[in-house]
């Protein structure tokens, strides 16, 4: 979009917040916002934000921050400028079984396997627990997912929260495995995400979760998920304006409660097919929506996280290949800081470990593409060109070997670049077979993390408290 178009959308979002306002179903939060300068309609629970209040929140929010792998300070994710990182999808209710390739309900064991697998996937940098398990106590899903993730991956972990209670349990888990609350704040390895309900509805759960995550100083992702044509205007510009207003409202809440809190704007605009009311996650509009949202966020100089490898395909097939690649490369080129989606299929209703392996490959190609290439005297290689001359060959040149070893060309792990004869001799395996075998092999060589007994005891005690609490709520 042009600068003038970006300005129009930003101004439209400010007008939505100033004239329409947001619904906030939390009396304490409404008072906090009112005391800070928001206009309150207590009877309707509507909060309206003056533009100056929103602009102050943008100024208070850090333009970037760093998340750290546990036990590996060099494995850090610094969200700033146009640096791009990736993470898995999260919350799928079904899984494609790695052993029989059948679709079934997700289990807590699937979170464990996914966490162990991501540890050895170099192009997937953070773990959002892949699935929501159906075999744990109702209400305890998010806490169980994080507990299992902590024990099986040292990569950065992020997870959604829907209440203050969930935030508190996750904070206790984070602090226990990090060593202390002080160390957790100094070198955060975790983030939480909160989703308001579009349009413009900050329900009691999301409001309380946002307040608590801000009070706990946890890096927080704001994740509105409007649907164009259903919970947002069907027009692209209108849906973007509303989504941007929801992001700015969430940011203003966080920065009012806890000025300077690390926050990531994580828009999740999707599109309803108006012919059949199906919400599509593989349509070409999704990649454009993500790229456009990133442009708006970049104007604020704040970190972003958007859909990346999303697809409506039900299998690991050609459709998922072109949809994921298309929807991933557009926001990457726009300058997104985080791309999501590794492991997701079927409009993110299902997840697959074999798909995680394929998506690691796709992310690798995307990251290699946006990295560009060096242009200097060594890479232009005029002396080599002159030395070889017309009709010569470059394969024997020292320059060729040197730069080939340095990674001048992208080297895929899954793509078959052999001859037809070699492919036939190897069993004529398609991508599903190759990825499935690769996932099984990586899992066979993986093990849970080594965690000291004292920390394990603390984690066990926290989980005992959590299970007891959620069992009582049922």
d(C-alpha 308, C-alpha 212), whole Å: 29
Which pLDDT belongs to residue 79?
94
Residue range 10-57, pLDDT digits in tens: 999 999 999 999 999 999 999 999 999 999 999 999 999 999 999 999
The tally of CA atoms less than 13 A away on the side-chain side of residue 250 is 34
Which pLDDT belongs to residue 50?
98
Which pLDDT belongs to residue 275?
85
* Whether pLDDT at 284 is above 90: no
Which pLDDT belongs to residue 277?
85
Q: Would you state the structure tokens that stand for residue 399, as one six-digit string?
A: 């320059």
Residue range 334-360, pLDDT digits in tens: 999 999 999 999 998 999 999 999 999
144 exposure class (CB count in 10 Å sphere: 0-12, 13-18, 19+): buried
Q: Which of 283, 268, 277 is nearest to 313 (CA)?
A: 283
Task: Report residue 319 CA to chain centroid gap.
Answer: 22
Q: Are 289 and 240 in contact (CB under 8 A)?
A: yes
pLDDT > 90: percent of the chain = 90
Q: What is the mean pLDDT of residues 296-322?
A: 94
User: How many other C-beta atoms can be found within 10 angstroms of the C-beta atom of residue 282?
Assistant: 23
Q: Are 159 and 181 in contact (CB under 8 A)?
A: no
If one compares 262 and 282, the residue with the highest pLDDT of the two is: 262
Helix (H) or strand (E) holding 95, with range, is strand 94-96
Which pLDDT belongs to residue 98?
93
User: How many other C-beta atoms can be found within 10 angstroms of the C-beta atom of residue 335?
Assistant: 17
Which pLDDT belongs to residue 46?
98
Q: Are 196 and 245 in contact (CB under 8 A)?
A: no
Q: What is the mean pLDDT of residues 175-203?
A: 95
User: How many other C-beta atoms can be found within 10 angstroms of the C-beta atom of residue 51?
Assistant: 14
* Whether pLDDT at 73 is above 90: no
Q: Predicted confidence band at 172 (pLDDT cuts at 50, 70, 90)? A: very high
Residue range 369-414, pLDDT digits in tens: 999 899 999 999 999 999 999 999 999 999 999 999 988 888 888 9
Residue with tokens 């627990």: 129
Residue range 111-162, pLDDT digits in tens: 999 999 999 999 999 999 999 999 999 999 999 999 999 999 999 999 999 9
* Whether pLDDT at 74 is above 80: no
- 389 three-class SS: coil
Which pLDDT belongs to residue 293?
97
Residue range 153-166, pLDDT digits in tens: 999 999 999 999 99
pTM: 0.94
Average pLDDT, the chain: 95
d(C-alpha 101, C-alpha 354), whole Å: 9
């Amino acid at each position: 979009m042009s600068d003038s178009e970006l300005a129009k959308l930003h101004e439209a979002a400010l007008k939505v917040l100033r004239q329409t306002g947001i619904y906030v179903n939390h009396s304490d939060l409404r008072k906090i916002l009112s005391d800070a300068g928001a206009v309150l309609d207590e009877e309707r629970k509507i909060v309206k934000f003056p533009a100056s209040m929103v602009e102050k929140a943008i100024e208070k929010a850090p333009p970037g921050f760093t998340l750290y792998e546990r036990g590996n300070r060099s494995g850090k994710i610094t969200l700033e400028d146009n640096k791009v990182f990736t993470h898995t999808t999260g919350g799928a209710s079904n899984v494609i079984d790695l052993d029989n390739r059948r679709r079934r309900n997700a289990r807590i064991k699937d979170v464990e396997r996914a966490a162990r697998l991501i540890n050895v996937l170099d192009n997937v940098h953070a773990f959002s627990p892949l699935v929501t398990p159906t075999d744990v106590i109702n209400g305890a899903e998010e806490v169980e997912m994080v507990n299992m993730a902590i024990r099986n991956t040292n990569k950065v972990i992020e997870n959604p929260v829907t209440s203050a209670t969930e935030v508190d349990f996750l904070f206790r888990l984070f602090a226990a495995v990090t060593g202390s609350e002080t160390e957790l704040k100094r070198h955060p390895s975790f983030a939480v995400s909160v989703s308001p309900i579009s349009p413009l509805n900050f329900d009691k759960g999301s409001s309380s979760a946002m307040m608590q995550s801000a009070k706990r100083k946890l890096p927080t992702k704001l994740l509105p998920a409007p649907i164009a044509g259903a919970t947002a205007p069907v027009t692209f510009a209108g849906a973007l304006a509303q989504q941007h207003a929801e992001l700015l409202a969430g940011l203003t809440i966080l920065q009012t409660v806890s000025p300077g809190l690390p926050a990531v704007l994580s828009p999740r605009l999707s599109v309803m097919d108006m012919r059949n009311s199906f919400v599509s996650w593989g349509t070409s509009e999704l990649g454009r929506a993500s790229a456009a949202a990133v442009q708006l966020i970049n104007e604020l100089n704040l970190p972003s996280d958007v859909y990346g490898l999303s697809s409506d395909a039900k299998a690991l097939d050609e459709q998922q290949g072109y949809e994921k690649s298309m929807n991933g490369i557009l926001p990457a080129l726009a300058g997104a800081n985080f791309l999501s989606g590794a492991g997701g299929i079927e409009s993110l209703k299902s997840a697959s470990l074999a798909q995680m392996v394929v998506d690691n490959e796709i992310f690798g190609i995307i990251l290699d593409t946006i990295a560009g290439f060096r242009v200097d005297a060594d890479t232009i290689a005029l002396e080599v060109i002159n030395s070889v001359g017309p009709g010569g060959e470059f394969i024997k040149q020292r320059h060729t070997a040197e730069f080939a070893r340095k990674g001048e060309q992208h080297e895929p792990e899954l793509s078959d670049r052999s001859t037809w004869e070699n492919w036939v001799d190897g069993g004529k395996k398609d991508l599903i077979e190759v990825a499935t075998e690769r996932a099984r092999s990586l899992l066979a060589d993986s093990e849970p993390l080594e965690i000291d007994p004292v920390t394990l005891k603390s984690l066990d005690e926290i989980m005992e408290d959590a299970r007891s609490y959620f069992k009582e709520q049922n």
